[in-house]
Chains A and B, each alone.
Chain A
Amino acid sequence: MDGDFHRLGHRDFKAVPLGPHGKQCSVEGFCKRFGAYHALSDVSFTLFAGEIAGLIGPNGAGKSTLLECMTGLLPVDAGTISRQGREITLAERRRFLWYQPDDALPFARQRVRAILSFFRRMHGRDGRDFEELVTGLELAPVLAKSLHTLSKGYRRRVLLALALLSRQSLLLLDEPFDGFDLRQSLMVMDLLRRWKKDRTMLLSIHQLSEAEKICDRFLLLDQGRIPAIGTLEELGMQAGLGKRATLEEVFLAFT
C-alpha cells in the first residue's frame, strides 16, 4: 500500500507544463503582523489545478495563519489572492475555497450523523457521498454519538469528512493527519486521493513522512517566509542534495 502512495505521489507529478489555465490560485505578497511579530512576510506562490500541495514548516512557522489569510478569516496587512488572473474578494472566496481548521469542534453536542448530514445537505451532496465517507473513514460506530464525546482520532475523521463533503475546488486542510496512527494515516491518504477528483488541495502538515507520501509539490514555510517551492526532486536540487534527497533532508537544509 505504501508503494502505491509513492507511485501516485510527487514523483509522477508534472507541474511544469501547466499553462495559465492550469493555475488554480495565486497568492501574491501576503504579509501579516501580530503587533511587532511578523507572522507572514511577502508570501507568494501559485497552486496548480488538480495538485496536492503540502505546506511544510516547523511549529509556529505561520502555516495556519497563511491558510486563514487565504480563506479571509484573518485580514492580511498586504497582499492579494487571485484566481485565473483576477483578484477575488472576501465574499467570492467562499465559492471556490474551503478551509478546514484543525481545532474546530462544530456543534459539539450534536450527534455525528446530524452534523455530517447538515454539511452534506448544505453542500448539496447526496446520500451516497455520505455513505462512502462514513465507510471510508470508518465512522459508522460513532454516528449516533455526540461529537464532544469522541476520541481525538474520531474527531479528526469527522472533521475530514466535513471537509470532503464540501464542493469548493480548492481545499485547504490544516494538519489532516494529526492524531492518526500509521494505518489511519494511510487510510486517510487513500481517501484524499479518491475524493480529490479534479480538486486542488493544500495540506498543512508537520509530519514529513506523511507529506512525502501524498503531496505532489511542497511549499516550505519558515518564520513566515517561503524559502523554497517545488517537487521533492526540484527542492533536492535547489538545496544541492541531489534528486534522491528525502523531504527531511530538504526540510533541514532550508529551515
Chain B
Amino acid sequence: MPLPKGSVCLRQARLLLQQEICGLLLAPALWIMLIILSLLVGYSFIQAVDLFSQASRTALSFPEMARGMNPLDGIFVPTFGAYYLAETLLLPFVAIRLIGTDKQSGALKLLLQLPFSPFSLCGLKITAMVLVWLLSLLPAAVVLLQWHLLGGHIFFPEVALLFTGHALYSLTIIAIAMFAATISGSLPTAAMFCLSITLGSWVLDFAATGQGGLLAIIGHFSLAGMLHQFENGLLTTGYVASFLSIALVFFLLSVVWLHPGKRLRNKLAASLLVVAVIASVPALSTFLPGYRDVSENRRHSLNPVDSHALAQLDKPLIITVHLNARDSRLLDLESDMLAKLRRIVPDLQIQYAVDNSTGLFSAGGDDKYGLIEYEYDGHHDESYSNSREEILSIIYKLAGITVVAEPVPNYPGYPLVADAGASRWLFYLVLPLLFLCGGLYSGKRL
C-alpha cells in the first residue's frame, strides 16, 4: 500500500536532515571549533573563578561588598565571552558549509531536484546546523557543574537568559553564513562576507561604547550590542524580536537566492519584499515593548510600590540632563534610574542638553553642567544628585503624591573563595579529547 503523501514528505525530510547532520559531523572544521571552544571556555572559567575568589576574600569581611558579588557578572558572563569569540570567529566557517560545500561539489544541483522547495531545503539545513551546534553546550554544562561542585551559586533564570542570548546570536550568525554561502561563488568569499558582518558589528559595538547620539543607538542594535543586553538579566522583547528578525531576513534571503534557475530581477524584487516586511517586526516591537527582570538582585527594577506609583503618572514627565555622554555620572544615572523610568513611566521624555561633540573637558563653559531638571504638569525642579532616592522624591513632589517604599529583602551576594585549577585537565584535556574522538568516530562510522 502506498504511503500517504504527508508521511512520504516527512520521511524524505527526515532523510535529508540526517544527511545534512552527517555532512556536518564529517566536517573537521566542526570538531576543531569544538576543541578550541573547550580550551577557550576552560581558560575563561578558570580566570573568572580566580578573579571572583580574589574579590570574595575582601567581600567576605564586609557584607556591603558581598552584595556586589554576583556569579552572573563574575563568572558566567566572562566565561560565556569564550562562546562569543567562537560564535563570531569560528561558527561562520562551519555554517557556510551548509550551502557552500553543496554549491562547490555540485550536490546543490541534485538537491534542488529532490522534492523540496528552497524554503524546505534551507529550513532543514539550518535545523541540522542548530542540532549539531547543541554539541557546543557540553563545555557550558561542564562549567555549570564545576561551579556547582565548587560550592558556587547558580540562579537559573539569569543563566537561562544568557543562554538564550547566545542561542539567538548563534542562530543569526548561522543564517548570515548561510546567506553568504548562497550568494558567494566560493567558500573563502562566503567566509569573508560573513566575517565582515560579524566583525563589523563587533567594531561598531566597540566604537559606540561610551558614545552618545546616533552611534550609541546603532551600537545598541549591533549584533554584539544586542547580545550584551542578555548578559544583565533583563529580558527585552525588542532584542529578541530584533535577533529573530535579522536571522529570519538572512534565512529568507538564502531561500530567495538559493535557486540558480530564478531570474535576477525576480530575486531582487523578492529580496526587497523580505527586507521590507521583516524590518517592520522590530519596529513594531518598540510600540509594544515587553520587559522581564530575571536578575536575582532585581537590578532592573525599582521597589514595587515605586514602580506602581510611577506607572500611574498620567502626564508627560520631562527630564533634562546636562551631562556629557562619556561622563560616568550619566552612565550611572542611565543604568540606575533613567533606563528603569523608561520602562515604567507611560509618558517620559528625556533630553540631553550637552553637545557630546564638544568633549568631556570642554563642559566647563556650561553653567548648568551636571544639573538634572525635572518638569511635570507645569511644575519644575532641579538637582545635581543622581541618587535613586533623591530623584524619586523630586518626581513624587512634582506629581504631588506620597509613596512609602515597601521593605524588600536585600540581595545577599554570593562571594566564594574557590580554586578551579583542578578542572584544568577537564577543559584542556578531557573535553578536547572527547571532541577529537567524536570527530574520528564520525569519520569512521558515517
Contacts and interface: CB of A to CB of B under 8 A. Distances in A.
B109 A99 contact: yes
A29 interface: no
Which size bracket describes the interface of B in this complex? 20 to 34
Interface in B40-70: none
Contacts of A79: none
B107 A106 contact: yes
A72 B261 contact: yes
A109 interface: yes
Interface in A71-118: 71-75, 90-91, 94-95, 97-101, 103-111, 114, 118
Given A107-B19, A109-B27, A111-B446, A73 B110 contact: no
Given A103-B106, A106-B106, A122-B15, A75 B113 contact: no
A118 B19 contact: yes
A71 B8 contact: no
B270 interface: no
Nearest to B27: A109
A73 B22 contact: no
Interface string B77-115: 000000000000000000000000010011101111111
A101 B113 CA distance: 12
Main secondary structure of the interface of A (DSSP, over half): mixed
A104 B261 contact: no
Contacts of A104: 105-107, 109-110
A109 B113 contact: no
Contacts of A75: 260-263
Contact of A91 (B11, B23, B117): B117
Nearest to A148: B105
Contacts of A240: none
Interface size class of A (residues with CB under 8 A): 20 to 34
A162 B110 contact: yes
Contacts of A101: 106, 109-110
A162 B113 CA distance: 12
B107 A107 contact: yes
Contacts of B446: 110-111, 114
B105 A106 contact: yes
| B15, B261, B262, B263: residue with the most chain A Cβ atoms closer than 10 Å | B261
Nearest to A100: B110
Contact of A71 (B19, B22, B113): B113
Q: Which of B27, B102, B113, B115 has the most CB of A within 10 A?
A: B113
Contact of B8 (A97, A108, A124, A162): A124
A14 interface: no
B224 interface: no
B440 to A, nearest CB: 13
B420 interface: no
B16 A122 contact: yes
Contacts of B259: 90
Contacts of A109: 23, 26-27
A110 B22 contact: yes
Interface string B110-137: 1111110100000000000000000000
A99 B19 contact: no
B385 interface: no
A121 interface: yes
B26 A110 contact: yes
Contacts of B261: 71-75, 90
B12 interface: yes
B22 A114 contact: yes
B111 to A, nearest CB: 8
Contacts of A107: 19, 22-23, 105, 107
Nearest to B442: A109
Nearest to A147: B105
Contacts of A95: 115
Nearest to A90: B261
A95 to B, nearest CB: 8
A99 B106 CA distance: 12
Nearest to A91: B117
A90, A100, A108: most-surrounded residue (chain B CB, <10 A): A108
Nearest to A124: B8
Contacts of A103: 106
A195 B58 CA distance: 81
A72 B112 CA distance: 10
A94 B107 contact: no
Given A73-B261, A122-B15, A110 B106 contact: no
Given A73-B261, A104-B107, A105-B106, 13 more contacts: A71-B109, A90-B259, A91-B117, A94-B114, A106-B102, A106-B110, A108-B105, A109-B23, A109-B26, A110-B26, A114-B22, A118-B15, A121-B11
16 contacts: A71-B109, A73-B260, A74-B261, A75-B263, A90-B261, A97-B113, A99-B109, A104-B106, A104-B107, A105-B107, A106-B111, A110-B23, A110-B446, A114-B22, A122-B15, A162-B110
